[in-house]
Amino acid sequence: MPEEDLETVQRELATTRAQRDELRRELGDLRAWLCIKLGIGRDDPSRDEVTSLCVATDAEILGEVQRLQDELATFTSTEEAEERRWSGIDALIMENRRIHAIQAIRTEFGTSLRLAVDLLNERYTRLRRRRPDRFSESADTYWDGFHSF
């Protein structure tokens, strides 16, 4: 192989190695950032007795991401189930049928009358913020004639 070709190959090899090393550094930074954000870094005592952050393995990072996805799915399905429990009651609240809403709350959640009234008030406030246009009665007159404990 001529010497010029050898130098060209060596230059290309050096460039390729530099690019590879840069990608490895970026990947290491990404792994470290993920470990910090996921809270899965672990302490690793070095030779000088100074503690440094040891980056988790790819499998550990993926495992933590999967755990978080599972936790989110559980939370989301629980929230959806809770919203389904309230859907019929919400219609009563928006139609200004407060007594019927209290009865439905007591039936659905098995609460005392006092707690049902408190839940009605909380749910009314939440619904009024989310869907003010769905109410048959204005906010100023909604509680007129309704007296609780």
- In sign, the C-alpha dihedral spanning 125, 129, 135, 140 is positive
pTM of the complete model: 0.49
User: Cα(first)–Cα(last) distance of the chain, in Å?
Assistant: 98
Please identify which residue in the block is written with the tokens 């204005």: 138
Residue 13: other Cβ atoms inside 10 A:
10
Judge whether 43 and 53 are in contact, CB under 8 Å: yes
Of 124, 118, 120, residue with least CA distance to 149: 118
pLDDT tens across the length of the chain (149 residues) = 678 888 999 999 999 999 999 999 999 999 989 988 888 876 555 555 554 557 788 888 999 999 988 888 877 777 788 888 999 999 999 999 999 999 999 999 999 999 999 999 999 999 999 998 988 888 888 888 887 65
